[in-house]
């Protein structure tokens, strides 16, 4: 499973990291009549999960891969976990930001007196188990099972409000997410197993020499579009529809967990199923590059026309996810590093923006950008955090998004893909065009245009503190990206040296 200087270590810790929030679901559900205790269990689960994930960092940085085999289904098709540097990077981001989102959820759900809060916290915990399961999957079968688990765990969160719009959005969510995984990923996985004799991720894939170019193109497209959580056009419509969910759901699941699981899965397919050498020899990386480029530009253009703040953020997310796919498809060392660390950099920036959108709604009831004139004067902390999150997503210093976009630019040059370089620059300008006017409207429009009464203040502290923390995190990652950068660099060295 590993090569070169890599050492394999067997440990139960990956299984514990996946299962801890499953176990705590029982305690959360049993505490439905005691909100403080229920949310205490939620914090305990989040902190323990992050601690278990973080405990594996020294071993992985010491060139070890941690494995845990659960059960063999078929030869070469186990349900098994393998913690490598790329999976650990994703798990660190998602488990850490669950802690911040748990705090934010208290302020948001209590501030709006939302119903079914116990159900909400239970399914949130299930979703994080599925996310970590995807991150630590040793093969395509395990990844597929946890991918599906995440789809069904997040459906009750998307339909939380239980009204007609929520049910309609939930049906679209399942149609796109489950329909594509069953209709495309499952048959592609069977073909991969028949041809390759295994589903285990390998340093240079396991499909080299197992079929014609036409078959490889077909399988690649089936897997890239089948993992529709990555929201490539035209399979993107579920994401804006899912914005009907409560803002904490949008923040973590649709800025970090769900969408990043899609991007992570596509990244794994490119590097672990096909491998960079096979895709380079067949010139298939360019095909995926253009799919990502079209999605990035079209989504950015659509975002410009959205007045609803969460919908603008949703289309922004669609475009930003394609940066991760683009980084993988460039097949160059710097491009791969850029795509990997963009998972972390975008997560901190975008979750900050969603937190801000929710804080505005809790404090004022406003959802549309046109209604937010002058709001920066009344919610200065929230809107300053919004500015920081915007700078990170645009890719400007002093925020972490600059680092990942810089590597994507270098990766485009390294791969001799000048067209992708122009796409990256154009999309960053579009990012600025749909975010900076929101900040300008908030801080610099005259008070005579304001639609708010002077009494409006910041949201509750449980809402404001997490968005401040993630905004500060975006700045810290600009000056100190090493934790994620070291893991990404180690992962790329393993992929290209395997």
Per-residue pLDDT reduced to its tens digit, 267-304: 999 999 999 999 999 999 999 999 999 999 999 999 99
Average pLDDT over residues 47-56: 96
For 470: left if phi > 0, alpha if psi spans -120 to 50, otherwise beta; the answer is alpha
Q: What is the rounded average pLDDT for all residues in the chain?
A: 90
CA distance 175 to 172: 5
Average pLDDT over residues 45-71: 94
Of 32-46, 355-369, 393-407, 448-462, which range is least confident? 448-462
pLDDT at 452 over 60: no
Per-residue pLDDT reduced to its tens digit, 393-409: 999 999 999 999 999 99
Per-residue pLDDT reduced to its tens digit, 303-358: 999 999 989 999 999 999 999 999 999 999 999 999 999 999 999 999 999 999 98
The per-residue pLDDT for 111 is: 66
pLDDT at 249 over 80: no
Higher pLDDT, 253 or 214: 214
Q: Give me the helices (H) in 62-212, please.
A: 85-111, 117-135, 140-158, 164-180, 186-196
Model pTM score = 0.93
- Angstrom CA distances, 208 to 9, 119, 273, stand at 27, 46, 9
For a pLDDT cut of 90, what percent of the chain falls above it? 66
Q: CB of 417 within 8 A of CB of 289? A: yes
pLDDT band at 7; cut points 50, 70, 90: confident
Q: CB of 100 within 8 A of CB of 147? A: no
For a pLDDT cut of 70, what percent of the chain falls above it? 95
pLDDT band at 5; cut points 50, 70, 90: low
At 60, list the tokens. Answer: 């992985």
The kind and range of the H/E element at 162 are none
């Amino acid at each position: 499973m590993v090569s070169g200087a890599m050492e394999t270590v067997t440990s139960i810790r990956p299984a514990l990291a996946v299962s801890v929030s499953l176990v705590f679901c029982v305690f959360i559900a049993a505490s439905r009549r005691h909100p403080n205790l229920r949310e205490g269990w939620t914090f305990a689960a989040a902190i323990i999960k992050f601690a278990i994930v973080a405990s594996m960092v020294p071993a992985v940085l010491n060139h070890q891969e941690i494995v845990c085999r659960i059960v063999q289904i078929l030869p070469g098709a186990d349900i098994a976990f393998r913690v490598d540097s790329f999976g650990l990077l994703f798990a660190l981001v998602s488990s850490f930001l669950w802690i911040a989102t748990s705090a934010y959820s208290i302020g948001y759900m209590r501030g709006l007196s939302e119903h079914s809060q116990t159900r909400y916290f239970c399914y949130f915990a299930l979703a994080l188990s599925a996310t970590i399961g995807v991150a630590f999957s040793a093969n395509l079968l395990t990844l597929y099972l946890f991918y599906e688990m995440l789809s069904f765990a997040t459906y009750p969160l998307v339909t939380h409000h239980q009204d007609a719009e929520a049910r309609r959005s939930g049906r679209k969510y399942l149609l796109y997410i489950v329909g594509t995984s069953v209709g495309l990923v499952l048959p592609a996985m069977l073909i991969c197993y028949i041809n390759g004799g295994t589903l285990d991720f390998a340093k240079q894939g396991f499909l080299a020499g197992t079929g014609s170019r036409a078959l490889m193109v077909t399988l690649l497209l089936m897997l890239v579009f089948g993992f529709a959580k990555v929201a490539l056009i035209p399979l993107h419509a579920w994401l804006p529809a899912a914005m009907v969910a409560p803002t904490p759901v949008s923040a973590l699941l649709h800025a970090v967990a769900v969408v990043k699981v899609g991007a992570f899965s596509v990244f794994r397919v490119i590097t672990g199923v096909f491998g960079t050498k096979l895709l380079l020899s067949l010139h298939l990386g360019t095909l995926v590059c253009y799919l990502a480029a079209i999605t990035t530009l079209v989504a950015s253009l659509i975002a410009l026309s959205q007045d609803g703040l969460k919908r603008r953020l949703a289309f922004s997310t669609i475009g930003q996810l394609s940066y991760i796919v683009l980084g993988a498809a460039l097949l160059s060392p710097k491009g791969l590093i850029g795509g990997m660390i963009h998972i972390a950099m975008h997560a901190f920036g975008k979750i900050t923006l969603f937190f801000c959108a929710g804080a505005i709604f809790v404090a004022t009831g406003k959802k549309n950008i046109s209604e937010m004139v002058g709001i920066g004067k009344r919610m200065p902390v929230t809107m300053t955090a919004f500015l920081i999150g915007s700078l990170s997503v645009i890719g400007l210093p002093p925020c972490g998004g600059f680092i990942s976009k810089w590597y994507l630019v270098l990766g485009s040059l390294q791969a001799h893909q000048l067209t992708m370089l122009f796409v990256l620059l154009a999309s960053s300008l579009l990012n600025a065009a749909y975010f900076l006017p929101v900040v300008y409207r908030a801080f610099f429009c005259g008070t005579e245009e304001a639609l708010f009464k002077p009494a409006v203040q910041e949201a509750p502290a449980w809402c404001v503190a997490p968005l401040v923390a993630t905004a500060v995190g975006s700045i810290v990652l600009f000056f100190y990206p090493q934790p994620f950068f070291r893991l990404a660099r180690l992962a790329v060295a393993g992929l290209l040296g395997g």
